[in-house]
Amino acid sequence: MRKKVNTFLVSNLSLPFDAEDSAFLHIAGQKMKRMGISPDMLHFQIYKKSIDARNKEDIKAVCSVLIRVSEAVSVDTDRLARASIKPFEEKEPEIVFGNEKMMGRPLVVGMGPCGMFAALMLAEQGYRPILIDRGGDVEDRVMQVDRFYREKILDTSTNIQFGAGGAGTFSDGKLVTRIGDELCGYVLHTLYRFGAPDDILTRAKPHIGTDVLRGVVSRILSRIKELGGTLIYRCCLEGFSVGANREITVKTSCGDIACGCVILAVGHSARDTYAMLGEKNFALVPKAFSVGVRVEHLQEDVDRSLFGRLAGHPKLGKGEYNLSYTGGERGVYTFCMCPGGEVVAAASEEGGVVVNGMSRYARDGKNANAAVAVSVLPSDCGNNVFSAIAFQRELE
Ligand SMILES: Cc1cc2nc3c(=O)[nH]c(=O)nc-3n(C[C@H](O)[C@H](O)[C@H](O)COP(=O)(O)OP(=O)(O)OC[C@H]3O[C@@H](n4cnc5c(N)ncnc54)[C@H](O)[C@@H]3O)c2cc1C
C-alpha cells in the first residue's frame, strides 16, 4: 500500500548494551537512506529502548528511533514493514462534543488515574468539573499511611488505596501496560508535562516511582483547580437521585451536590459503592481478576541471574523478570515486579490483610518483590460481582 508519510518509526535496532544513543540514531538514518527515503531528516529521537539479556555473554540494547523528514513522501508501507520501518502517528484523544446543554457542572467521583485524567480533560475544555474523593490530599495520605505503619491504626477513608492520586500514588509507579492502546503515548506525555522525568517517554518499561508520582499527582490536581475545577477531599459518594428534568443530585458524606452528569472513577476497592449501585439495580458486569502472594528476594540475586558477570553495570539498571506457566485453562504468572522496592501493607478495610509492591524512582532498595498470581474467572464466582467480592474478602 502506498501512503504519504513524514514521520517514521525504525524498529528492532540492536547494538551492544553499552552503545551510545547516537549510534542508534546513526544506524536508523542509514536504514532510511537504504530504503530510498531522500528528503532531509530533520528530527531524530530515541522512541523506546530495552535490554535483551537472553544471552548473558552478549547482552544487547534494543531500540526504536523516530525520524521526521522535511516533507511528506509517498512510500510503499509493505516494503518498509519488511525492513521494520513504519509510518508513525501519535494519537491525541478525540473529543466529541454533545449538542445538548448540560444541566450543571460534571462531577467526577474518584481522584485516581481514571478520575484525574477525566477531570483534566474536562477542565482543559472549559467544563469546570467538580472532583471528589473519599480520601485526603497527598499530604494527608502520607500522614495516614505513616500512622498505619507505625501505630497499626487504619483510616478506612484515607490509605494506600484511597485519596488523591488513587491506588497508584503509593505504588511502584510502573507505567507499563500490555493493552497497546494508541493513547498510551498521550498518557505518558501528560505525566511528563506535569513533571515526570523525560526517560518515561523512551524506556520500554517506563517507571516513575512513588516519590516522583506524588508531585505529578499534586500538579495535575492544582491545574484542574486553576482551570476552574473544584476539588473536594474526604467526600464520599453515598447515593444519587435523578430529577424529572434529568438534573442529578449526588448524596455525599459532605452533603448534597447538584451536577449535570456523573463519572464514576471509583477504582477496584470501592466495595461499598458497588453495593450501593447493586441496590439501585445498575447492571454490574464481573470481570476476570487475579489473586496471589508477594515473593521477596535480594535484588543482587535477580541481577546476577539475569546479567551474570555484568550485574551492577550502570547501563543495565536493575534486573526485572516475568515468569508464567499455564496449566489447563488457568495461568500462574508473576506480575508487577518491583526491582529495589518493598512490600507494603495496603488494606482499606478493617480486619483483612492486603499487600502490594512499591518503590522509589531510584529503585535502590536491597530487595526485589513480585506478585505470583493466578487468574480467577467470572465463572469461578458464579458470574456474580458480589460473590467475587465475597471471595476476595474471605482470602483477605
Ligand atoms: C500499592 C499499589 C501498587 C500499585 N502499583 C502499580 C504500578 O506500579 N503500576 C500500575 O500500573 N498499577 C499499579 N497499581 C494498580 C493501580 O494503582 C490501579 O490500576 C489504578 O490506580 C486504577 O486507577 P483508577 O483511577 O481506576 O482507580 P483508583 O486508583 O483505585 O482510584 C479510585 C479513587 O476513587 C476514590 N473513591 C472510591 N469510592 C469513592 C466514593 N464512593 N466516593 C468518593 N471517592 C471514592 C478512592 O478513594 C480512590 O482515590 C498499584 C496498586 C497499589 C494498591
CA of 351 to the centre of ligand 1 (A): 20
Neighbours of 292 (CB within 10 A): 17
Distances (CA, A) of 221 to 76, 121, 167, 224, 236: 45, 12, 15, 5, 18
Of 194, 188, 245, nearest in space to 221 by CA = 194
| Cross-strand pairs, 316 | none
Q: What is the dihedral of CA 40, 43, 49, 52, to 10 degrees?
A: 10
For residue 254, give the C-alpha cell: 459532605
115: Cβ below 6 Å to ligand 1? yes
Which H or E run includes 120?
helix 113-124
Report which of residues 396 and 181 the model is more confident about: 396
* Topology of the domain covering 106-279: FAD/NAD(P)-binding domain (3.50.50)
List alpha helices for 196-307, DSSP H: 209-226, 271-279, 299-307
Evaluated on CA atoms 88, 23, 202, 289, the torsion sign reads positive
Of 275, 237, 226, 206, the C-alpha closest to 115 is 237
pLDDT of 55 over the 80 cut: yes
Q: Ligand 1 atom 10: the closest Cα is on which residue?
A: 174
- pLDDT tops 80 at residue 160: yes
99 CA distance to ligand 1 middle (Å): 32
Q: Grade residue 359 by pLDDT with cuts at 50, 70 and 90.
A: confident
Given a contact cutoff of 8 angstroms between Cβ atoms, the answer to whether 380 and 340 are in contact is no
| DSSP helix/strand/coil, 115 | helix
The grid cell for 159 is 490509605
Among the residue ranges 186-195, 207-216, 327-336, 383-392, the one predicted with the least confidence is: 327-336
Q: Is the pLDDT of residue 301 over 90?
A: yes
Query: Is 337 a pocket residue for ligand 1 (Cβ < 6 Å)?
Result: no
Question: Which pLDDT belongs to residue 76?
Answer: 87
User: What pLDDT, on the 0 to 100 scale, is given for residue 4?
Assistant: 84
Ligand 1: does its nearest atom lie under 6 Å from the Cβ of 164?
Answer: no
Q: How many CB atoms lie within 10 A of CB 241?
A: 11
Q: Is the CB of 358 under 6 A from ligand 1?
A: yes
- What residue has cell string 540492536? 14
Q: Ligand 1 pocket, 2 CB below 6 A?
A: no
Say what the pLDDT of residue 205 is: 82
Give the pLDDT confidence score for residue 45 in this predicted structure. Answer: 86
What does residue 108 show for φ and ψ, rounded to 5 degrees?
-110, 125
CA of 266 to the centre of ligand 1 (A): 8
Q: Is 339 in the pocket of ligand 1 (CB under 6 A)?
A: no
Residues 267-295 pLDDT 10s: 989 999 999 999 999 999 999 999 999 99
Owner of C-alpha cell 457542572: 105
CA 29/CA 267 separation, integer angstroms? 45
Q: What is the pLDDT of residue 361?
A: 83
Give the architecture-level CATH label for domain 2-87. Answer: 2-Layer Sandwich (3.30)
Question: How high is the pLDDT of residue 372?
Answer: 96
For 3-36, write each residue's pLDDT tens digit. 888 889 999 999 999 999 999 999 999 998 888 8
Write out the three cell numbers for 243: 430529577
CA–CA separation, 331 vs 288, rounded Å?
A: 12
Contact 59, 307 (CB under 8 A): yes
Cell of 229: 475545577
CA of 225 to the centre of ligand 1 (A): 21
Domain boundaries, the chain: 2-87, 106-279, 289-395
Atom of ligand 1 nearest to the CA of 165: 49
Angstrom distance (rounded) from CA 154 to CA 145: 8
DSSP state of 166: G
Residue 334 alpha carbon to ligand 1 centre in Å: 20
- Ligand 1 centroid distance, CA of 109 (Å): 12
Given ligand 1 and candidates 108, 134, 233, which is best to mutate, with the most ligand atoms within 8 Å of its CB?
134
**Which amino acid appears at position 159 of this protein?**
N
Count the neighbouring beta carbons within 10 Å of the beta carbon of residue 279. 9
Residue 224 has pLDDT above 90, yes or no: yes
3-state secondary structure of 369: strand
pLDDT 10s digits, 371-380: 999 999 999 9
Q: How far apart are CA 53 and CA 321, in angstroms?
A: 11
Question: How far is Cα 347 from Cα 160, in angstroms, rounded to an integer?
Answer: 7
Q: Which residues, at least 6 apart from 262, have a Cβ–Cβ distance to it below 8 Å? A: 106, 107, 108, 109, 240, 248, 250
Q: Does pLDDT of 38 surpass 80? A: no
Half-sphere exposure (Cβ direction) of 313: Cα atoms closer than 13 Å: 15
109 Cβ closer than 6 Å to some ligand 1 atom: yes
Residue identified by cell 509493505 is 78
Confidence of residue 229 (pLDDT cuts 50, 70, 90): very high
Strand order in the sheet with 85-87: 41-52, 60-76, 2-16, 85-87
**Residue 39: its pLDDT value, please?**
63
| pLDDT over 70 percentage in the chain | 99
Whole-number mean pLDDT of the chain?
Answer: 91
Q: How many residues does the chain have?
A: 396
